[in-house]
Chains A and B, each alone.
Chain A
């Protein structure tokens, strides 16, 4: 059956639509993979901490490394050594041609080159790409979260538009679990339908303008038209989910932490939201941007300067010590996340086994704003872990290869992502 035209779908508006019809709208290549899906759900969580991790404490010394990837843990890795068998550490990886120090944050999940250059346009991020394939299976195709700076996000659409992230756990909780009363649901449905009517109208107007504009202008108009179509589809999906009851859980709505200094508290709260979202299958894709650009003074004993300022330690001992306190706490929080995911069982496996957790930073060295040698860890998800994959620190291995491996593990049929050259060498799925 050929993919349905938008018009057929909308003419049927007002009748409850079953999901398979929507799936029929996707191109055949995608449909085939999801005709029936006995495979277990696979998830992805991508975390970026944008102040980096001091290299001298993150990776083991060269002498502590074996040729086959075994190692004696570094100071930071020692803090999460309990889960050694559940993660792989990478050394000598980065995104090809991604530079610009802090500017590289926006390329963390996209690998788009030269993010600081004039006229830069970002490309699709790993999570959004995955969401295009599997997002439809859950109420929320993805969940973009952030701790720190308001506008921060790791997610970008294919046309280079920032996808906003949620920075209030209470709002995330509300989105995931709080069911509106009947009047509220009806109101929302009405708004969604109004939205669709409006989009239908403006889409038609765009169609009529098409003949009047020149060739270059037409491209922009087409973009507009395309966006109208995409949004219409999303509103239809949203309306269906609106009528389905949200999962009921025995957890209280979290209190937002306003104090920007509570880096660890806020991080852990978002970790918890992510885990709840995975547990209830509200989504299978989560991104978390930990953005300390506002330079808050982190509330940990022994720390008395702004986080960002500390990263420019200029090799001063006292400053390095303070930064170590913060980064160690972050590593421990990451370890706790792994522990929490590990404790949830699912069909004989654990949630950690089915969730790839990517943890790292766009900065390999925050003091010099170097984007090479990014500190990266991949945990869980069904791979053979327990070692360090070391590549050339002077001629880095492309990190996008890891992203390809991750996508494939999720069942996405692709063999490339951004500037990848293949899958991650040395990483084996199990």
Chain B
């Protein structure tokens, strides 16, 4: 049986080789697709004549697909008949596969792939044990291809890049050794307790009586404090060294009722920030207890930096003035702040791990001007606090200069550089291989440069070398070290850890059981959150969540807390899919949500309290479920004022189905949205139905968009459009102290007809249609994971491997965790 199959296959390939592809194109395509005026810009005449010299597989693949699907030539064209079509499809598929396989054998699927800036930053964080290192912002943004900035062909290098790599590497090394050079001895841990009594200005603020009231010994804030009112005692603290600090704050909610202090009638939420110059870093978000007896004490560790100032933002208090209402008549919610305690800096070891990564146990000593060692450079540090913090160079004479001391500098340099190179270059490195780097450092040691300054140059060189910046992969089966790198940059966005390295050095990693165990370990490690964040950030466009801002008048309920929550929802949902191996149907529907109270409010779901994201059962009649109707997705597919069925529809086709529509023809005029409420976007798009040239594509693009019209730009369900001129006033009159000015306008119509012919009344029915297409959703998901993890697009010849992945995961309903395993086990992942 097998030999017959093989025989018939080779017969088939002989037949395919002999088949005249050009002839088919000539008879069936060139009427429309030739020359300068070729339809849709696709000139097949040129493509065919080039076919023997260069075989543009992407294009041929498109031609193959459309002929196979019966879409081209269009049904009314006349020819070819079915047998003709089939022969063409088989022959072109064969030809495509061969062309791809040839290239993959000699060059591989992927092109020499540079680390992108996210990978670079995470690598340095892990390498130097600096979990809060920030260098990605110093590097220029990366380009992407096939939807991800991990694709080798898109990642270029320029002199700008290289200059920034030099700078970033230097900055990272400085941060690793900085604290020890700055302080010498372990800095003392101090505890600072700050409360209202610590600063007499409390009286002053309370006397003003407008925005803060005394609540026992605490300051009760009735509105979002600006800098004048914020517990000013916070500015009395600023870290003297970068490090870990333990922060504790005692706070509780209350209600101010015409002079009386009552327990809070709602949950309050606070977010802490560290502010330096114009950057505000969030440190954590917490719920606040409802009364003085049930006050909450938030305790958390945060990495703080010199010059940073602590701030907090009360997510649930308005920032509006209460006008002239006297306090005896005023009723409002408030948050009382009792005290703040900061303990730190806390160093689990000294010198810290980051220093040891570079210098091991070598001591630091004060520099002696009488020695022959050249003076170390004056450090540059932050002076001033918060907005006023500025980088200044230390003053000579006022600063103790210190340096790393080695009694055998040459031997130590060689040893440390070899150790560093072995970790950094992601494979075994011998002394011979870094001779040039050792010489670089040696020359400086000979010139009596201080030890750390000499080593700095060596470390920078390693971090700018092509072996570090690019992944080392050779065509064919990847070596175990290369496999380890690919795996760790897939699931951790960073270099392999010790355990992965060990498995690779023992040449065990490529074994299916070892590989599987490693994937499990890595997915269970907190570093896998980097994968969740990065993959969702690009696949679902979460990186672009702040590109537009919802219009304040139309969407007054939108705030930062909601924005943060919606991003967290999507990431947690994806993480849940990985954790529980949930199937591809969960992309568009689910029986649970990952939400907090803010999202529950948006989604009109009762009974959820608190700011943490947790699993909530989906109420029976809710239109939510899956990524399809998550607020973040609905936001990134809209702008700040209006939704567009075309944008959303195209997004669904592309990101969920994996079938992006063709771009619009040039010179189609843009639709000018009408915010007066005189017409709806759906009516403005009617041309799509009436004009056949538009309909060919919009037949597929518009329907998902129409179903999602039931959700506005921040993801709220709507039965009517919000408008600013025509319409009726809504029931809610005020949000967080701001008057509501939008009106409820024309009704929303969420119905449509799927290109398959099925009609739907609303998103519930539309969802049912999507759920019946599980395999399409799974295929797209698998393909995206392959692109992301291997750094290359999907070739025609890769389709068989994708099909294999789907077959292997079909019985789990195409579970996400299973797909990840299947991807790693496939040839696509294990070969270049």
Interface residue ranges, A against B (CB under 8 Å) = 97, 99, 101, 114, 117-121, 151, 157, 159-164, 183-184, 187, 194-195, 197-199, 201-202, 204-206, 209, 213-221, 223-224, 227-228, 230-231, 234, 258, 293-295, 305-306, 308-309, 312-316, 365, 367-370
Residues in A with CB closer than 8 Å to B154 are: 119, 121
Given contacts A227-B158, A258-B387, contact A206 B669 (CB under 8 A): no
- Per the 8 Å Cβ criterion, residues 141-186 of B in contact with A are 141, 143, 145-147, 152, 154-163, 166
Set A187, A215, A221: member contacting B377, Cβ < 8 A = A187
CA distance A370 to B470 in the complex (A): 40
Which A-B residue pairs are the 6 nearest by beta carbons?
A314-B675, A217-B112, A230-B159, A220-B112, A368-B670, A161-B158
Set B161, B552, B642, B724: member contacting A316, Cβ < 8 A = B724
Given contacts A215-B107, A370-B669, contact A195 B549 (CB under 8 A): no
Min Cβ gap A115→B in Å is 12
CA distance A201 to B162 in the complex (A): 13
CA distance A199 to B461 in the complex (A): 8
CA distance A201 to B464 in the complex (A): 10
Residues in A with CB closer than 8 Å to B147 are: 118
Set B114, B163, B469, B670: member contacting A369, Cβ < 8 A = B670
Contact A309 B675 (CB under 8 A): no
Q: Look across to chain B and name the residue whose beta carbon is closest to the beta carbon of A395.
A: B667
Residues in B with CB closer than 8 Å to A221 are: 112, 466, 470
Contact B156 A159 (CB under 8 A): yes
Set B112, B160, B553: member contacting A305, Cβ < 8 A = B553
Residues in B with CB closer than 8 Å to A164 are: 140, 160
Residues in B with CB closer than 8 Å to A308 are: 548-549, 640
Q: Look across to chain B and name the residue whose beta carbon is closest to the beta carbon of A96.
A: B666
- B366 sits at the interface (CB 8 A): no
Contact A370 B378 (CB under 8 A): no
Min Cβ gap B671→A in Å is 7
Residues in B with CB closer than 8 Å to A293 are: 547
Given contacts A164-B140, A221-B112, A314-B675, contact A195 B156 (CB under 8 A): no
Set B145, B156, B157, B466: member contacting A118, Cβ < 8 A = B145
The 8 A CB mask of B454-474 against A (1 = contact, 0 = none) is 000100110011110110000
- B674 sits at the interface (CB 8 A): yes
The 8 A CB mask of B638-665 against A (1 = contact, 0 = none) is 0111100000000000000000100100
Set B106, B460, B641: member contacting A309, Cβ < 8 A = B641
Interface residue ranges, B against A (CB under 8 Å) = 106-108, 111-112, 114, 140-141, 143, 145-147, 152, 154-163, 166, 278, 377-378, 387, 393, 396, 436-437, 440, 457, 460-461, 464-467, 469-470, 475, 547-549, 551-553, 639-642, 660, 663, 666, 669-676, 724-725
CA distance A370 to B666 in the complex (A): 12
Q: Look across to chain B and name the residue whose beta carbon is closest to the beta carbon of A120.
A: B143
Min Cβ gap A37→B in Å is 25
Set A151, A218, A223, A369: member contacting B156, Cβ < 8 A = A223
Min Cβ gap B612→A in Å is 29
Set A119, A197, A313: member contacting B145, Cβ < 8 A = A119
CA distance A206 to B470 in the complex (A): 11
Contact A316 B163 (CB under 8 A): no
CA distance A309 to B141 in the complex (A): 26
Contact A194 B457 (CB under 8 A): yes
Residues in A with CB closer than 8 Å to B674 are: 314-315
Contact B114 A214 (CB under 8 A): no
Between B147, B163, B387, B669, the greatest number of chain A beta carbons within 10 A of the residue's beta carbon is seen for B163
CA distance A412 to B466 in the complex (A): 35
Given contacts A160-B143, A309-B640, contact A231 B461 (CB under 8 A): no
Q: Look across to chain B and name the residue whose beta carbon is closest to the beta carbon of A260.
A: B278
Given contacts A161-B161, A309-B549, contact A201 B437 (CB under 8 A): yes
Residues in B with CB closer than 8 Å to A213 are: 112
CA distance A120 to B548 in the complex (A): 22
Q: Look across to chain B and name the residue whose beta carbon is closest to the beta carbon of A297.
A: B552
Given contacts A231-B163, A316-B675, A368-B672, contact A216 B145 (CB under 8 A): no
Q: Look across to chain A and name the residue whose beta carbon is closest to the beta carbon of B550.
A: A309
Min Cβ gap B61→A in Å is 15
Q: Look across to chain A and name the residue whose beta carbon is closest to the beta carbon of B466.
A: A206
Apart from the given pairs A157-B158, A224-B162, A367-B672, 5 other A-B contacts in the complex at a CB distance below 8 Å: A161-B161, A198-B460, A205-B436, A223-B156, A223-B157
Residues in A with CB closer than 8 Å to B141 are: 151, 162
5 contacts between A and B (CB under 8 A): A99-B666, A202-B465, A214-B107, A228-B162, A258-B278
Given contacts A220-B114, A305-B553, A314-B674, contact A183 B396 (CB under 8 A): yes
CA distance A369 to B664 in the complex (A): 15
CA distance A99 to B145 in the complex (A): 19
CA distance A206 to B111 in the complex (A): 16
Min Cβ gap A296→B in Å is 10
CA distance A396 to B359 in the complex (A): 63
Contact B158 A305 (CB under 8 A): no
Contact B436 A216 (CB under 8 A): no
Min Cβ gap B302→A in Å is 24
Contact B437 A163 (CB under 8 A): no
Contact A312 B108 (CB under 8 A): no
CA distance A220 to B155 in the complex (A): 9
Contact A217 B547 (CB under 8 A): no
CA distance A316 to B743 in the complex (A): 15
Q: Look across to chain A and name the residue whose beta carbon is closest to the beta carbon of B642.
A: A312
Contact A205 B465 (CB under 8 A): yes
CA distance A238 to B440 in the complex (A): 22
Residues in A with CB closer than 8 Å to B464 are: 198-199, 202
CA distance A218 to B470 in the complex (A): 12
Contact A201 B466 (CB under 8 A): no
CA distance A162 to B547 in the complex (A): 18
CA distance A214 to B108 in the complex (A): 9
CA distance A231 to B551 in the complex (A): 45
Min Cβ gap B480→A in Å is 18
Given contacts A201-B437, A309-B551, contact A370 B156 (CB under 8 A): no
CA distance A228 to B166 in the complex (A): 11
Residues in B with CB closer than 8 Å to A367 are: 672-673
Given contacts A157-B158, A214-B108, contact A312 B675 (CB under 8 A): yes
Q: Look across to chain B and name the residue whose beta carbon is closest to the beta carbon of A122.
A: B143
CA distance A308 to B548 in the complex (A): 9
Contact A234 B159 (CB under 8 A): yes
Contact A227 B547 (CB under 8 A): no
Between A97, A199, A217, A316, the greatest number of chain B beta carbons within 10 A of the residue's beta carbon is seen for A217
Residues in A with CB closer than 8 Å to B158 are: 157, 159, 161, 223, 227, 230
Given contacts A214-B475, A314-B673, A368-B669, contact A204 B157 (CB under 8 A): no
Min Cβ gap A239→B in Å is 14
Contact A295 B549 (CB under 8 A): yes
Residues in A with CB closer than 8 Å to B162 are: 199, 224, 227-228, 231
Contact A305 B552 (CB under 8 A): yes
CA distance A101 to B663 in the complex (A): 14
Min Cβ gap B261→A in Å is 35
Q: Look across to chain B and name the residue whose beta carbon is closest to the beta carbon of A296.
A: B549
Set A101, A214, A224, A234: member contacting B466, Cβ < 8 A = A224
Min Cβ gap A328→B in Å is 22
Given contacts A306-B549, A308-B549, A314-B673, contact A205 B467 (CB under 8 A): yes
Contact B669 A201 (CB under 8 A): no
Min Cβ gap A224→B in Å is 5
CA distance A118 to B793 in the complex (A): 13
Q: Look across to chain A and name the residue whose beta carbon is closest to the beta carbon of B468.
A: A202
Contact A202 B461 (CB under 8 A): yes
Residues in B with CB closer than 8 Å to A218 are: 112
Given contacts A160-B143, A183-B378, A227-B159, contact A315 B111 (CB under 8 A): no
Contact A306 B552 (CB under 8 A): yes
Min Cβ gap A219→B in Å is 8
Contact B725 A316 (CB under 8 A): yes
CA distance A164 to B551 in the complex (A): 30
Residues in B with CB closer than 8 Å to A119 are: 145-146, 154
Contact B461 A201 (CB under 8 A): yes
